[in-house]
DNA sequence: GGAACAACTTGCATAATGCAAGCATTCAAG
DNA sequence: CTTGAATGCTTGCATTATGCAAGTTGTTCC
């Protein structure tokens, strides 16, 4: 559950050890948008492979960013949601969305704040 | 110089296609801290391999985030600096630093704003 | 000219990613 | 029941990226 061996005590480096890849923040984006099921993440337009999705969800749970719970709306199924620690990543996502919209042409917004 | 093929038009996805790895944002951190030479990036505590550093610098130049210029202070040597597009990533770094400091124990600050 | 340094490049082993397929539950219909 | 479809994964394997060490090129500096 803790860090195995960090590259340095720098907060940037340590944060990137957790979210520094092409997929993790996309899953967090989806969670912030209200998605909660494995298949919902899978259906996102980027097309994440199921083994990577599975791996990232497990990593996020390990790091206390996401928690797994039994879905009430869809009984018997698993679901995922952000913890407080995970929700605290919203400003990071917001900054990334802003930069993308302003500096990469052809991007269009889709992240708002659906709920806390 | 442009995007080859993006995964989706989402600004998060497109931004991660550029900076979504464990090393790129560390280089940008160093640039924001005023570092400009290849060997300075190499000396950062995380210990980036030279081939990856070389690859990432080239990618960043391709994406218009960093520009190469002949060093005046150290004549005959190459140097790198952020473009306006690159400097615009500062809020992303700031959000990451903040999250790291608040949610990962044992991290200590080192990013301030040395200059614009 | 030759040592020292900076900035890379190359080669190769290991790890991560991408893709397709397979497996175990659950649930609803027949 | 028992099939059949859907969900939530896991496994196998090819491809790509990363990590490490070593080698190469181009300057300065004496």
For A90-101, write each residue's pLDDT tens digit: 999 999 999 999
ipTM value, please give it: 0.88
Reported as a single tens digit per residue, the pLDDT across A48-82 is 999 999 999 999 999 999 999 887 766 677 899 99
* Residue ranges of domains in chain A: 11-103
Q: Is B20 in Cβ contact with A13 (below 8 Å)?
A: no
Residue numbers in A 19-58, CB below 7 Å of strand D: 37-40, 50-51, 54, 57-58
Query: Would you give per-residue pLDDT tens digits along chain B (116 residues)?
Result: 445 578 999 999 999 999 999 999 999 999 999 999 999 999 999 999 999 999 999 999 999 999 999 887 776 788 999 999 999 999 999 999 999 999 998 888 875 555 54
Q: Which of B96, B56, B87, B86 is nearest to A28 (CA)?
A: B96
Out of A12, A102, A103, closest to residue B29 by CB: A12
Out of B3, B25, B91, closest to residue A12 by CB: B25
- Cα–Cα dist B56/A52, whole Å: 24
What CATH class is the domain B11-103? mainly alpha
Q: Which nucleotides of D are covered by protein (CB under 7 A)?
A: 6-12, 17-23, 27-28
Which chain B residues are closer than 8 Å to A92 by Cβ? Answer: 92, 95-96, 99
């Amino acid at each position: 559950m803790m860090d195995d061996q960090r590259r340095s005590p720098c907060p940037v480096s340590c944060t990137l050890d957790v979210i520094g890849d092409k997929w993790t923040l996309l899953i967090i984006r989806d969670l912030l948008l209200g998605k909660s099921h494995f298949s919902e993440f899978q259906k996102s337009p980027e097309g994440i492979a199921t083994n990577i999705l599975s791996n990232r969800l497990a990593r996020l749970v390990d790091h206390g960013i996401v928690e797994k719970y039994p879905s009430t709306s869809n009984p018997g199924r698993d679901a995922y949601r952000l913890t407080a620690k995970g929700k605290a990543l919203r400003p990071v996502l917001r900054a990334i969305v802003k930069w993308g919209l302003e500096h990469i042409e052809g991007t269009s917004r889709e992240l708002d704040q659906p709920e806390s």
